[in-house]
């Protein structure tokens, strides 16, 4: 008779010797349940952007019964990829019934992450290419402008002619609203007398100013004694 408890405890002790505390964390003793932090098998630094935390749990008759396999956390994967990985591990667990398999499943998960990581990189590169191509098209459009068709030119010409007619009409209205000097005199008779009135008033003021001026005649008494030669 198989001693399932002994096999489960023996496998878990072996796993604790292989993996560090950061890679394996026990979460429950009855039933035995633990989480494994798994990264791609290549071990390159750039691969750390993709990882998963897988929770394994022992059913009573494990390893003759499929263990519980659930991805409880992930980095860098889409929901579809998480489902794909989880389905893959459960299928592999069925194929390994009858033997302890956690170490094997972790190794398969690492290999599968490499595959999924390559898909992520390819998708990112494709998105970057699309962005670059779109940016290039926009830059080229700035230099080429919009192609001129016959229909587009006729539409522009109609708008241009309409704007010119409106502008000409406004100029005529503006010009007709300004009166010439002749029209101003014809429409307002008082303007015709304004210049004459101004000259008359100015002459009267000048005469009044001259009458009020006092002349000092003593200044001119010695003029006869001056020897003024006539200039011819």
Instruction: Report yes or no on whether pTM surpasses 0.85.
Output: no
Q: How many structural domains is the chain composed of?
A: 1
DSSP string, 13-43: HHHHHHS-TTTEEEEEETTEEEEEEE--TT-
Indicate whether 68 belongs to any domain: yes
Indicate which CATH number applies to the domain containing 90: 3.10.110.10
The answer as to whether 21 is a domain residue is: yes
Residues in the chain: 232
34 vs 225, residue with greater confidence: 34
Does residue 127 belong to any structural domain of this protein? no
**215 falls within a domain:** no
What is the C-alpha to C-alpha distance for residues 172 and 167, in angstroms, rounded to an integer?
Answer: 9
Lowest-confidence region among 2-6, 13-17, 174-178, 209-213: 209-213
- Domain membership of residue 229 (yes or no) is no
Domain membership flag for residue 167:
no
Contact (CB, 8 A) for 13 and 41: no
Q: What's the start-to-end Cα distance of the chain, in Å? A: 164
Q: Which helix (H) or strand (E) holds 52?
A: strand 51-57
Domain membership flag for residue 94: yes
Name the residue range of residue 52's domain. 4-122
Q: What is the mean pLDDT of the chain?
A: 79
User: pLDDT tens digit string along 200-215?
Assistant: 665 655 555 545 555 5
Write down the residue that tokens 């519980």 correspond to.
68
Q: d(Cα 40, Cα 182) in Å, to the nearest integer?
A: 99
More confident residue, 161 or 130: 161
User: Does a structural domain hold residue 183?
Assistant: no
């Amino acid at each position: 008779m198989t001693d399932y408890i002994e096999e489960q405890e023996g496998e878990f002790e072996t796993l604790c010797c292989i993996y560090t505390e950061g890679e394996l964390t026990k979460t429950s003793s009855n039933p035995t349940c633990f989480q494994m932090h798994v990264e791609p098998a290549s071990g390159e630094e750039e691969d750390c952007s993709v990882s998963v935390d897988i929770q394994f749990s022992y059913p009573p008759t494990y390893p003759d019964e499929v263990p519980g396999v659930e991805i409880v956390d992930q980095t860098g994967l889409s929901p579809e990829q998480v489902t794909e990985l989880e389905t893959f591990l459960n299928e592999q667990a069925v194929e390994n019934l009858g033997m302890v398999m956690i170490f094997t499943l972790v190794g398969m998960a690492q290999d599968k992450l490499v595959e999924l990581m390559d898909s992520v990189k390819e998708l990112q590169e494709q998105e970057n290419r699309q962005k670059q191509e779109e940016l290039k098209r926009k830059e080229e459009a700035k230099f080429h402008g919009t192609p001129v068709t016959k229909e587009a030119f006729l539409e522009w010409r109609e708008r241009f002619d309409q704007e010119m007619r409106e502008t000409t009409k406004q100029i005529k209205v503006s010009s007709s609203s300004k009166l010439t000097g002749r029209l101003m005199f014809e429409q307002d008779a008082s303007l015709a007398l304004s210049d004459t009135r101004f000259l008359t008033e100015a002459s009267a003021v000048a005469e009044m100013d001259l009458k009020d001026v006092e002349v000092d005649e003593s200044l001119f008494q010695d003029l006869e004694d001056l020897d003024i030669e006539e200039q011819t």
